[in-house]
Every structure is written in structure tokens, then in C-alpha cells.
């Protein structure tokens, strides 16, 4: 019997199989369908065992309440305009000129007019 399916933790089961890895790496191994084989790699696990391991992993995740819901990305607000002072200096070096130009920016204004 596969140690993970008989109740061992991922780390314990991996240790019994001679695999030295961390928890997340072992979890990725359990979820990777490439171990079923394809046109290039040979199968090292049968489809039934793979499905049973995935079902056990999902059961444990639910039981331990470790279901991670994807976070909604925060909407980035980029300034659409800015106010700047009048520039009077000129530099031969374009990097110095750009740095000077950016130093003249007083405020950035968003679409709704907020600063």
C-alpha cells in the first residue's frame, strides 16, 4: 500500500519512499500528472493510484480547512496627469536632464482629480 494513502503525512510517506524534499515540493509531486507517463516519459504510477492520491489530498485539505481562495488583485490606480514647475536648467547628460525633469513634478493627479 502507498504510505500516503494508508494515512501517513506527505513528509513521512516521502521519507519512506526515499525522497528528501519539503512539504510543498512533495505536494506538487502528488498533483503532477506527468508521473502517469506520456510519449516521452515512462509511467511511474498507475492512473488509479494517482486518482486515489489526489482524492486523499483533497479530502485532507478540506478536513484541515486549508482551502486557499485566490485573492482578488487590487486595482492599480495610475496617475494620468501631473503638475510640474517650470524647468530652467539644461544638462548635457540625458540622465541628469531626466532626473531634473522628474524633480520638477509637484503632484500627480488621478483620473477623478484626486491627488
Closest CA to 83 of 55, 56, 106: 106
pLDDT tens-place string over residues 10-39: 888 888 888 888 888 888 877 888 888 887
Asked if residue 109 has pLDDT above 70, the reply is no
pLDDT tens-place string over residues 49-70: 889 888 988 888 888 888 778 8
Question: What backbone phi and psi angles, to 5 degrees, belong to 86?
Answer: -70, 130
Lowest mean pLDDT among 20-24, 72-76, 106-110: 106-110
| CA–CA dist 5, 48 (Å, integer) | 12
pLDDT tens-place string over residues 33-47: 888 888 788 888 888
How many CB atoms lie under 10 A from the CB of residue 26?
Answer: 19
Q: Where are the domains of the chain?
A: 10-63, 77-115
pTM exceeds 0.85, yes or no? no
Amino acid at each position: 500500500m502507498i504510505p500516503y494513502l494508508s494515512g501517513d503525512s506527505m513528509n513521512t510517506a516521502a521519507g519512506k519512499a526515499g525522497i528528501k524534499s519539503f512539504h510543498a515540493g512533495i505536494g506538487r509531486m502528488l498533483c503532477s500528472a506527468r508521473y502517469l507517463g506520456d510519449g516521452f516519459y515512462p509511467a511511474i504510477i498507475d492512473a488509479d493510484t494517482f486518482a486515489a492520491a489526489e482524492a486523499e489530498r483533497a479530502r485532507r485539505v478540506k478536513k484541515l480547512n486549508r482551502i486557499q481562495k485566490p485573492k482578488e488583485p487590487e486595482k492599480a490606480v495610475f496617475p494620468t496627469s501631473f503638475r510640474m514647475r517650470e524647468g530652467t536648467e539644461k544638462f548635457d547628460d540625458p540622465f541628469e536632464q531626466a532626473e531634473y525633469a522628474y524633480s520638477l513634478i509637484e503632484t500627480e493627479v488621478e483620473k477623478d482629480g484626486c491627488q
